[in-house]
Amino acid sequence: MITKKDFHDLDILSLLGIVLGHGEIPEGSVPLSEIGHQDVQRGVVSSTVSQRLYRTSAAMSHHIIDIMEQHYRLHQKNESACTCNCADFAVEMRRKTYYDTLLRQLTRQSIIEEHPQVAINNVILKKDWVFIQDTNDWKDIVLVPDKDNIANCLITRIIDALCGSCKVGTDKFESIKEGEELLGEISDSRIRALGVLTLEVRNEWLQQIPYSIRSGDEGALNDLTVHELNRLMMLKDYFVFLSDIISALFCCTVRDVIPDGWSKSEITIRQDWKVVECPPAKDDKDVPAFSLFGGSDFVVIRLT
C-alpha cells in the first residue's frame, strides 16, 4: 500500500488515477459526526467514488494543516538557524491548496450526480454517509433532468479522460501572441482530453442559457416570470461551478507538467497545445481566473 506521505506528494493526475480508479487509498478516519435529533435527513451517499473523494479531500485538508504546523515550528525553534526554504514551501502550499479545493469540488459534484437536488442546496455529511440539509429551506428541484447531459456525468467524463479513452481532435486555440513566453507543450493525451472537456462545458452552458439572458437584455428579462428567472440564475450558477471544477483540474494538470509551473503567475494554452506565460494584464479585471466565459482566452490559468 502507498504511504500517506507518498500519496500526498503525488501530482493531481496520479492522485485522481488512484482515487477514481479504485486503487488503494491510505487508511484514515473519516470525521463524520453523529446524526442529531433535529437533523433533517435528505439522502445517503452510496457512491463509492463520492466516498473515496471525500476521504481523500479530508486527508488532504489535514495534511495541509500538518505541514503548515511543522513549518511554523521550524521557525519557532530558531528563526536565525532555520534551514527551510520558505519560497519553495510557499509554492508547494499553493499547489496543495489548489488540490484541496479541487477535491472538495469534485466530491460535491459526485454527490450531485447521485442526488441532483444537492446542486442548489447546502448539505452536511453525517455518520454512515447520510446527508442532512444545512438550512431550513430545501428546494426539491432538479436543474438538469437529462441524465446524459454533461452536468450529470462530469465525473464519469473525467474518469474517461484520465483513463485515456477519450479522443482528442484538433485544438481550437489561438496562435501565440506578442509578449508571451513559450514554456512547453502538452503532449499527454489525458491532459488534452481535459482541455477539450472545458470546451464541452462551455458549449453546454451556452446552450442552456439564452444569449439574451447572458447579456442581461432587459427586455428578455422582463418577459420571464419570477420562477423562470430564478431557475435560469440557479442554472447559470451551477454551470459556473462546473466550469470551476474542470478549469481548476485542467489548470493543475498543466502546471504539474510545466517546469516551475506552480511558480508562474499567469499561463494559457495556445495553438498546437503550446503553454505560454502571459505578460501582466493592463487591467486585472480583463483576465478572469479559471474562467470559461471570458471570451477567446477562456482557458487562461492564473494563480490568485
Do 156 and 97 reside in the same domain of the chain? Answer: no
Q: Could you tell me the maximum CA-CA distance found in the chain, to the nearest angstrom?
A: 69
Picking from 93, 119, 142, the residue at the C-terminal end of a domain is 142
Do 67 and 94 reside in the same domain of the chain? Answer: yes
- pLDDT attached to residue 25: 80
Mean pLDDT over residues 232-246, rounded? 91
Do 168 and 122 reside in the same domain of the chain? Answer: no
Picking from 142, 160, 187, the residue at the C-terminal end of a domain is 142
Do 101 and 210 reside in the same domain of the chain? Answer: no
Do 133 and 279 reside in the same domain of the chain? Answer: no
**Rounded distance between C-alpha atoms, residue 182 and residue 175, angstroms:** 11
- pLDDT attached to residue 2: 65
Do 42 and 129 reside in the same domain of the chain? Answer: yes
Do 196 and 292 reside in the same domain of the chain? Answer: yes
CA atoms within 13 A on the CB side of 222: 3
- pLDDT attached to residue 156: 94
Mean pLDDT over residues 186-190, rounded? 92
C-alpha cell at 131: 446527508
- pLDDT attached to residue 292: 35
Confidence of residue 17 (pLDDT cuts 50, 70, 90): very high
Mean pLDDT over residues 120-149, rounded? 92
What is the tens place of the pLDDT at every residue in 148-168?
Answer: 999 999 999 999 998 876 666
Residues β-bridged to residue 130: 44
Do 97 and 246 reside in the same domain of the chain? Answer: no
**Rounded distance between C-alpha atoms, residue 271 and residue 130, angstroms:** 46
For residue 115, give the amino acid letter.
H
- pLDDT attached to residue 264: 87
Picking from 142, 173, 192, the residue at the C-terminal end of a domain is 142
**Rounded distance between C-alpha atoms, residue 79 and residue 45, angstroms:** 47
Confidence of residue 206 (pLDDT cuts 50, 70, 90): confident
* Mean pLDDT over the full length of the chain: 84
- pLDDT attached to residue 285: 46
Q: Which domain holds residue 3?
A: 1-142
What is the tens place of the pLDDT at every residue in 39-89?
Answer: 999 999 999 999 999 999 998 998 899 888 888 887 777 666 666 788 888
Q: Is the pLDDT of residue 16 over 80?
A: yes
Do 71 and 86 reside in the same domain of the chain? Answer: yes
- pLDDT attached to residue 142: 95
Mean pLDDT over residues 218-227, rounded? 82
C-alpha cell at 289: 481566473
Do 114 and 151 reside in the same domain of the chain? Answer: no
Residue 94 C-alpha from the chain's centroid: 14
CA torsion, points 199, 201, 205, 208, in degrees to nearest 10? Answer: 120
Residue 141, number of CB atoms within 10 A of its CB: 13
Helices (H), the chain: 4-8, 12-20, 48-77, 86-114, 154-162, 189-208, 211-214, 218-222, 226-257
Confidence of residue 116 (pLDDT cuts 50, 70, 90): very high
Q: Is the pLDDT of residue 304 over 60?
A: no
**Rounded distance between C-alpha atoms, residue 302 and residue 222, angstroms:** 36
Edge-to-edge strand list for the sheet holding 274-277? 181-185, 274-277, 266-270, 301-302
Do 5 and 127 reside in the same domain of the chain? Answer: yes
Higher pLDDT, 212 or 29: 212
Residue 295, number of CB atoms within 10 A of its CB: 9
For residue 22, give the amino acid letter.
H
- pLDDT attached to residue 296: 33
> How far, CA to CA in Å, does 244 sit from each of 98, 106, 121, 198?
12, 10, 18, 9
- What's the structural domain count of the chain? 2
Do 304 and 170 reside in the same domain of the chain? Answer: yes
Tell me the chain's radius of gyration from C-alpha atoms. Answer: 21
For residue 175, give the amino acid letter.
S
